[in-house]
Amino acid sequence: MIKAIIIDDEKHCIITLKHLLSAIDTIEVVATTQDSTMAKALIEEHQPHLVFLDIEMPEMNGFDVIHQFENPGFKVIFTTAYDQYALKALRLNALDYLLKPIDKKDIEIALEKYSNQELIISKDQVQNLHLFTNGKMQDTIALSTQQGLLFVKIDDIMYLEADSCYTHIIMNDQTRHLASKTMATFEEVLLDNSLFFRAHKSHIVNLKFIKQYIRGEGGELVMQDGNIVALSRNRKQEFLSLFKKV
């Protein structure tokens, strides 16, 4: 039986989530609280396997709560209404979350990840979240790999290549990593960074690592490692407009 705690400042959200979880016989909600300042004591008292943790709360937000634990002995699923800043922090750190209003299917997917030991929260993730919320760190991304989490500098990513439900990340030192996330996930995280451009449905490139553009219907981009990335015809003009010509 999975012991769970719900931490959310809105009572109706606790009631709704608790009701949804009550229909799943493998999980038991052992405690709830609306007071984020009481969260640490509650977790230490009940020793849950899983914590459903709201992000936007007064006094202490969800990231502050987690920062109190150097190495959490429990798994976390963040719950949040849509907030671009909060979601970017979660995605950069490869953390799992449920968007409000939460539905049963999303919970079942999250619990399946828990059962498959795919929910990870490490000391590095906790520290990165703390730095992120203090505006000190938005340049590192956590990659979910088969070996665990790999933290890399965003600016060191040369390009990304889609592979079904996975993504290959090629670094500027030509190392390659296979992440268990779709290209769409990385697009949401990276494309507000002016260095990155969606060249094709299967590729996102870092503009500073493009060595050459070869003309064509769409054209081709030669990357610093010598590999060639196709440029979609409907992205050609947008791409060319990013550069000054002499």
How far is it, in rounded angstroms, from Cα 206 to Cα 195? 5
Q: Is-above-0.85 flag for pTM? A: no
Q: In the predicted model, is pLDDT for residue 191 greater than 80?
A: no
User: What is the three-class DSSP state of 22?
Assistant: helix
Residue 129 near residue 67, CB atoms below 8 Å: yes
User: What is the rounded distance in angstroms from the CA atom of residue 148 to the CA atom of residue 158?
Assistant: 21
pLDDT computed for residue 185 by the predictor: 87
Tell me: the pLDDT tens digits for 97-132?
A: 999 999 999 999 999 989 988 888 988 888 888 888
Of the candidates 32, 185, 18, which has an alpha carbon nearest to the alpha carbon of residue 104? 18
DSSP structure string for 127-179? HHHHHHHTTS--SEEEEEETTEEEEEEGGGEEEEEEETTEEEEEETTS-EEEE
What are the chain's domains?
2-133 (3.40.50.2300), 140-240 (2.40.50.1020)
pLDDT tens digit string along 202-237? 999 999 999 999 998 889 999 999 999 999 999 999
- Is beta strand 2-7 parallel, antiparallel or unpaired with respect to 50-54? parallel
Q: Which of 37-46, 78-87, 91-100 has the highest mean pLDDT?
A: 37-46
How confident is the model over 129-166, as pLDDT tens digits?
888 877 765 788 988 877 788 999 999 999 999 998 89
